[in-house]
Structure 1
């Protein structure tokens, strides 16, 4: 409650006096001025949103063992000879000496969700350290262009996960940035 003077009270449109003093009624951002329409910040601009075609076939779904305690789950969906969706997930097994949980735990992942090819790096706690966008698919104009972009980067993403797994593990442990 705001206590005001008699003059401030008379200058408002408040019509009755409460027993506990003078109060100012709730007013808008511009009292006495014409109401302005505010911009609706919930509306997202129109942009291309990539979704894998239903006709795409999951041709690769396999583990690749990196060490005694670590593996990479490789999933790829193909359509007309192109890799049109993928997920490469490096994880540690529950019996890994540095695993703080009693379950499989993600170390790093590259995937194509949210209309972008992006990479995740995780902490041992399971929280995400970084999420780096590698290819923003919102900037392409068609599903064919998005599929070409995904196919072109899939091999490099696979190599990054398969060849740099020790670096990902060191980051997961907190040993390097």
Structure 2
């Protein structure tokens, strides 16, 4: 029973670690080509929500991270977990929330793979996300990834969509949340 528990815990840890390391998207989008932007990387006010959706860009700064390896001091292994928490900032540098989660290593060959579960706590509610991150064992900055928005609370109730995360500095990621309702 321990391997199953460890694997589940590891997946959550990996997701959190990935999200924690990824900067949150700033209040203004960063020119992702979204229909919500004016072509100059400026959000068109859709962060208040509507029936069609919204795009939120944040910068995330890693605040805490703990690793729980299956083989302490040894090679990466299936079931390794990472738990993380990051602070989220808007385009003006104001803290607007935090994110936390877990990621679990599911594969160690070909650069590795992690399954992650993450929650973004923002004014007015929370957004739940999950997905895979590939290449986390490759030396260098953490890879970019896309995860699914699986739901939410408050003003994000019934949210769906995707989150794109890209590393922009050590312990810093840009998150672009493309929320559909």
TM-score range, shorter chain: under 0.3
**Structure with greater proportional helix content:** 1
Q: Which structure's relative contact order is higher, taking Cα pairs within 8 Å and 6+ residues apart?
A: 2
Greater C-alpha radius of gyration: 1
Bigger share in strand: 2
What's the TM-score once normalised by structure 1's chain length? 0.26
Normalising by structure 2, what TM-score? 0.25
